[in-house]
């Protein structure tokens, strides 16, 4: 069985490190290396299907922006000296194979690409402006080496997770969507035989349910393509959420009367969510009707302006 992308990239980097220290020792003394960013391999979810594009031994070399600008020619010569294949796989370190995901990358530019700003977000407005999957993308994967420390310092701050006010506001909004789409609208759509609306309601509930599991676990949710698989590993309601969504996924929406099992599974998951809200001290709602829980969670937001926002919105 072949290694996954992160393992393969770590081994490739370790074999490349002596050459890099020989060619650009001063650059390496201020840089970080690892595999973080977009792609299933950065989440540890790559498989045989992943290998049809943007896959193979590679690593990111995050270089302080000023060093990147002044030493780019030397850095590129060092990259050119790396082998084109490793353990039988084509590497992704040549210019035409990086696609901005591997190879030398200006350190601040890497974070700016995902955060949309030159600094770690401060204040709820800046945090809410960043798509959650972008926060996942710049904090996933693994750092193999960090001589300068700057890359890991930013990463550590981001991994400390949302400020509690922001987390509460997001959880409140997810409660409302789960209640509206899953507990209320989905059963009514099924009773009417409104298959398109039922499908959309199920999808909205599913995304909100996944999101609240990540929020309750204090983990950033990845791009929707990978959210279900990542949710299975969450410490809080991960397996319960994915089990419920698998029931939704196999529910036929094409005739009246379907969905009894799905509706029951939704209510059971909402009951578990309500219990976790109580356990985390987010609200004291006593039943599983999450429409009542949302405003109670939001009342705990300390910032008055954020607390006054529409409860259904982040």
Q: Collect contacts of 114-123 with beta carbons under 8 A, ≥24 apart.
A: 114/138, 120/154, 120/157, 120/158
CB atoms closer than 10 angstroms to residue 197: 16
Segment 28-40 shows an average pLDDT of 94
* Helix, strand, or coil (residue 103): strand
Pick 253 or 34 by higher pLDDT: 34
Residue 104, helix vs strand vs coil: strand
The answer to whether 278 and 284 are in contact (CB under 8 A) is yes
The three-state secondary structure class of 117 is: coil
pLDDT tens digits for 52-66? 566 678 999 999 999
Residue with tokens 């379907």: 258
The pLDDT score that the predictor gives to residue 214 is 98
Instruction: Dump pLDDT digits (tens) for 231-274.
Output: 999 999 999 999 999 999 888 766 555 568 888 999 999 999 99
3-state class (DSSP) for residue 154? helix
The tokens of 25 are what?
């020792």
- At 59 the pLDDT is 95
Could you give the angle at the alpha carbon of 280 between the alpha carbons of 274 and 283, nearest 5°?
55
Query: In whole angstroms, how far apart are CA 180 and each of 18, 224, 228, 256, 289?
Result: 58, 21, 21, 20, 10
| From 77-86, 133-142, 191-200, the region with the lowest mean pLDDT | 191-200
**What is d(CA 290, CA 232) in angstroms, rounded to the nearest whole number?**
22
Q: 149-188, pLDDT tens digit by residue? A: 999 999 999 999 999 999 999 999 999 999 999 999 999 9
Is the Cβ–Cβ distance between 144 and 14 less than 8 Å? yes
Predicted pLDDT of residue 135: 98
pLDDT at residue 22 is higher than 70: yes
């Amino acid at each position: 069985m072949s290694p996954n992308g992160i393992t393969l990239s770590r081994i490739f980097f370790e074999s490349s490190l002596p050459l890099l220290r020989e060619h650009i020792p001063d650059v390496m003394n201020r840089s970080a290396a690892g595999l973080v960013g977009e792609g299933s391999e950065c989440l540890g979810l790559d498989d045989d299907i992943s290998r049809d594009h943007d896959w193979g031994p590679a690593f990111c070399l995050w270089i302080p922006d000023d060093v990147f600008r002044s030493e780019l020619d030397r850095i590129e010569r060092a990259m050119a000296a790396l082998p084109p294949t490793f353990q039988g796989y084509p590497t992704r370190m040549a210019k035409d194979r990086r696609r901005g995901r591997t190879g030398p990358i200006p350190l601040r530019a890497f974070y700016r690409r995902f955060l949309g700003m030159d600094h770690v977000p401060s204040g709820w407005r800046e945090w809410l402006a960043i798509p959650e999957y972008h926060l996942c993308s710049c904090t996933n994967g693994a750092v193999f080496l960090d001589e300068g420390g700057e890359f890991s310092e930013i990463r550590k701050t981001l991994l400390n997770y949302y400020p509690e006010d922001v987390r509460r506001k997001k959880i409140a909004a997810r409660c409302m969507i789960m209640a509206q789409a899953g507990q209320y609208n989905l059963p009514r759509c099924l009773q009417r035989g409104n298959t398109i609306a039922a499908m959309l309601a199920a999808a909205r509930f599913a995304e909100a349910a996944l999101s609240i599991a990540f929020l309750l676990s204090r983990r950033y949710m990845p791009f929707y393509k990978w959210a279900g698989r990542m949710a299975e590993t969450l410490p809080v309601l991960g397996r319960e959420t994915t089990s419920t969504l698998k029931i939704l996924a196999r529910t036929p929406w094409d005739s009246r009367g379907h969905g009894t099992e799905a509706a029951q599974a939704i209510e059971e998951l909402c009951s578990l969510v309500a219990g976790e809200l109580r356990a985390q001290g987010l609200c004291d709602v006593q039943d599983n009707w999450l429409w009542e829980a949302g405003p109670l969670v939001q009342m705990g937001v300390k910032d008055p302006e954020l607390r006054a926002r529409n409860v259904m919105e982040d």
